[in-house]
Structure 1
Amino acid sequence: MDKKNVYLDNNATTPMDDRVIEVMTKVMRESYGNPSSVYQVGQKGKKIIEESREMISGLLGLKSREIVFTSGGTESNNMAIRGVARCLKKKGMHLITSAIEHSSVLNTFKDMESLGWEVTYLGVDEKGKVNTEELRRSIKDETVLISIMHSNNEIGTFQPITEIGKIAKEKNIIFHVDGVQSVGKIKIDFENIDLFSFAAHKFYGPKGIGALYVKSGVKIEKLITGGHQERNRRAGTENVPGVCGMAKALEITLENLYVEMEKEKKLRDYMEKKILENIGKVTINGDLSNRLSNTSSISFEKVEAESLLFALDMKGIAVSAGSACASSTLSPSHVLEAIGFSISKAKSTLRISLGRFTQKEEIDYFVEILEMAVGNERNLNII
């Protein structure tokens, strides 16, 4: 093990699998033509795109025409939310989401508010779970969209997606699910889901490529105008290497899904047990019986997470203090605030997310360095 490179931030992004890189490299060398071109080298790329679409839809149990390729999770979320809201504007302008969504969802809804839409932000309990009865009470005649994440990127808690989907169907409301953190980590049930976002770089594929599942019959307005790519739903020259890399990454991941889930859960539980025993005055956050198998959110009493991040990084260990999309800010996590944390507790919390390549020896090294770092910080903070 290289003790100078222990990567424990797989919810931010995952390293690409060598098998994915190999497939993409071949495509980049041999299929460089524009897929919209009629000549052979262009049509070769078009064929790869459609074969990849078939593979992805087949692996997820969907229809190929229901998959729209995007640049990633952020674009997929924007396409779903803005696309539905614009399309159904005459029917109603009320939207529902939760207070712990990813920034690409929350900031999109905030923008929709500035444009005249009404948004209800559902609270969550101390485990980060939406109350479905509160959801029911929030629905109005003008409600056209409910958008709730499948699992939280910071604390790992799963939302009651099945129940929410049934409520949405009963009320004839479009239901969007941000599944970026869940695809490749747990089997997805798409029943009663109308729109579903996911991104390749969360399951060992390339960055810059994602997809939006659009259930047959669901209409959305396109965000990007130009050509007629993606069945006239998303203009722009297709990312052929990215698409085929995404398909290969998903194939590899789902082939070994349950094995990887069990391995990560075992390592995570081992890590949490060692931290509780060796460090003390810590709290493990979220729904401990209903969360992603690779994710651990831990608060350390009388310690600033920012100080721990620097201390760990100096020893070659990468973890985070929350979502990667918000980690450059000094503000406390909106997720931790939503589950009732004080500002000081929110700022004392680390997110550790394991992955396919995480080894037990790396966990041992991490806990050893973490124990020293926490001890040093607590000694400095003694008044």
Structure 2
Amino acid sequence: MTTTELTDTDIATRGADPAIGAGATEQGALGWLADEADRVRTAGLHRDPIVRRADTPVVDLASNDYLGLCTHPEVVAGGQAALAQWGAGATASRLVVGTTEAHIELENDLADFLGFDSALAFSSGYLANVGAITALVGRGDLIVSDTGTHASLIDGCRLSRARVVVVDRGDHQAVHDALRARTEQRALVVTDSVYSIDGEPAPVADLYAVARDCGAALLVDEAHALGVRGPGGRGLIAEHGLSGAPDLIMTTVLSKSLGAQGGVVLGPELLRSHLVDRARTFIFDTGLNPAAVGSAHTALRLLRADPAMPDRLRENAARLAEAIGAPAPAAAVVSLIVGDPHAAVAAAAACRERGVLVGCFRPPSVPAGTSRLRLTVRADLDDVTIDRVARIVLDALRTVGAR
């Protein structure tokens, strides 16, 4: 085996910083992390996980528990029953012994509810998106994505090794042009149905028409639409009458409106079979834990039994947005742009001190100059609570000089 020493020119060409290499000699190979930490803090982009306590009463507008089902007694009981029956974990990959009868029952009910032939559950929504994309396209294929897609879709595109064309969010004409200009035979269009940052819907029907016209498949991530939009909370695909349509793949999660954990890919039976054989994030990952399966299945039954829950959710979101002067929401997310990341962090902290948890989104999650408070409303909030939250948020913004 031979080795080759890299010159300073070689290092610069490969994207490394020679100064980091020099510092590593004195501080160790990870010495550069201290400088990086200083840079991130100065930019106002450092992140510390918020640690919740079970005994601290707060109004949660930071999570994605849209229907308030995470702590619903029946949902908790469903998880406990599955825990007692199957144990604390799936114990292995789904292809070994990690698939329980409970997994299959949940998948069948999800497929039936959402109008697709089949469903396949993954241990997270992130892994569902990465697994689906990398199993459907690869080197020599084309993906057309947009600037609003979730990180899991972006990473799936990168890992697929397909050629990726990124267009402006919602620009279906640009998608059409990219598909028409391609030299690749196989192509996939990917999008969120409801964008996670501001809750705005994508032009799903237009994207599907373009994809079909150009011989491409469309993958739509409904993570922020399940339980929020569409008939009975079935999502934007169902709202457009496209459930189970040819060449259409739906992904979604069990961790938002269904209050549990996990991700799902839905489509024709051939798709499910292909993913079982080829999706690495399914094949090589321990199966979704049984407690999450039991909780999600119970939450799905509650949603079926009360199809007005999504309506109450959207009404609550509209009430809060009006009270704080934010744009009228199309889903459950109320986005309030602050601008400066330091001010956004301070405003979120001021809300937290007053008993309200809100999301704080900064670059790279959002473009520079658009740091914001992201409030995710729930269906189980009453008018008194919403009005109190509005007063607290406005007061917090005034405290940091953002209003």
What's the TM-score, normalizing by structure 1?
0.75
> Counterparts of 2:258 and 2:173 in 1: how far apart (Å)?
37
Q: Distance in 2 between matches of 1:352 and 1:235?
A: 33
Secondary structure of 2:360's partner? coil
2:116 matches 1:62: yes
Distance 1:312 1:171, change over 3 A: same
- Provide the C-alpha distance between the structure 1 equivalents of 2:214 and 2:124, rounded to a whole number of angstroms: 30
Aligned residue in 2 for 1:202: 256
Residues in 2 aligned to 1:67 and 1:4: alpha-carbon distance in whole angstroms: 37
2:387 to 361, 364, 375: 364
Structure 2 residue 69 is matched with structure 1 residue 26:
no
Alpha-carbon distance in structure 2 between the residues aligned to 1:55 and 1:301: 43
Q: 1:22 is matched by which residue type in structure 2?
A: A
Is the Cα–Cα contact under 8 Å of residues 162 and 192 in structure 1 kept in the other structure? no
Instruction: Note closer, same or farther for the CA distance 1:310–1:111 as it changes in structure 2 (3 Å cut).
Output: same
Question: 1:95 is paired with a residue of what secondary structure?
Answer: strand
Matched, 1:249 2:306: no
For 1:127, the equivalent position in structure 2 comes to: none
Out of 333, 336, 342, which is 1:298 matched to? 336
Q: How does 1:107-122 map to 2 (within 5 A)?
A: 107-112=155-160, 115=161, 117-122=162-167
Aligned with 2:401: secondary structure? helix
Q: Do 2:65 and 2:257's aligned partners in 1 also have CA atoms closer than 8 Å? A: no
Distance 1:33 1:367 in 2: 40
Counterpart of 1:8?
A: 61
In 2, Cα distance between the equivalents of 1:216 and 1:48? 19
- Tell me the C-alpha RMSD between the 2 structures: 3.1
Report the number of matched residues. Answer: 325
Amino acid at match of 1:81: I
**In the TM superposition, what are the counterparts of 1:44-83 in structure 2 within 5 Å?**
46-63=100-117, 66-83=118-135
Distance 2:343 2:88 in 1: 51
| Alpha-carbon distance, 1:261 to partner | 2.6
Separation of aligned partners in 1, 2:294 and 2:129: 21
Name the CA shift for 1:102/1:223 in 2 (closer, same or farther; >3 Å): same
- Equivalent residue, structure 1, for 2:264: 211
Q: In structure 2, how many angstroms separate the alpha carbons of the residues matched to 1:369 and 1:98?
A: 35
Name the counterpart of 1:179. Answer: 222
**Cα distance in 2, alignment partners of residues 370 and 237 from structure 1:** 40
Q: Which moved more, 1:350-359 or 1:150-159?
A: 350-359
Going from structure 1 to structure 2, the CA distance change for 1:95 and 1:27 (only over 3 Å counts) comes to same
- The superposition leaves residues 117-149 of structure 1 with CA deviations (integer Å, 9 ceiling, x where unpaired) of 32111113xxxxx12111100111315211111
Q: Counterpart amino acid of 1:316? A: G
Distance 1:333 1:33 in 2: 33
Counterpart of 2:373, as a letter, is L
Note if contact 1:95-1:146 (Cα within 8 Å) is conserved in structure 2. Answer: yes
- Counterpart contact for 2:122–2:287, Cα < 8 Å: no
Q: CA deviation at 1:78?
A: 0.3
TM-score normalised per structure 2: 0.72
* Partner Cα separation in structure 2 for residue 368 and residue 107 of structure 1: 39
Paired residue secondary structure (2:187): strand
Deviation (angstroms), 1:270: 2.1
1:313 partnered with 2:352: yes
Matched, 1:167 2:207: no
Contact 2:128/2:265 (8 A) holds in 1: yes
Which secondary structure state, in structure 2, belongs to the residue aligned with residue 67 of structure 1?
A: strand
Distance 2:266 2:284 in 1: 13
- Change in 2 beyond 3 A, CA 1:358/1:10: farther
Once the two structures are TM-superposed, the CA of residue 35 in structure 1 deviates from its matched residue by 8.1
Secondary structure (helix, strand or coil) at the match of 1:265 reads helix
Distance 1:254 1:163, change over 3 A: farther
1:93 is the counterpart of 2:109: no
Distance 1:166 1:255, change over 3 A: farther
Selected match of 2:201 from 134, 149, 158 = 158
Residue type at the aligned position of 2:266: Y
On the 8 A contact 2:221/2:250 being kept in 1, the answer is: yes
2:401 equivalent among 358, 373, 378: 378
How many percent of aligned residue pairs carry the same amino acid?
A: 14
- Partner AA of 1:59 in structure 2: F
More relative contact order, 1 or 2 (CA 8 Å, 6+ apart): 1
Whether the 8 Å contact between 1:222 and 1:234 is mirrored in structure 2 is no
TM-superposed deviation, 1:205 = 2.9
Q: CA deviation at 1:29?
A: 1.2
Q: Report the Cα offset of residue 159 of structure 1.
A: 0.9
Which deviations, in whole Å up to 9, do the C-alpha atoms of 1:51-86 show, x marking residues without a partner? 2222222222222xx211101110110011111113
The one-letter amino acid of 1:9's match is: A
1:262 matched to 2:307: no
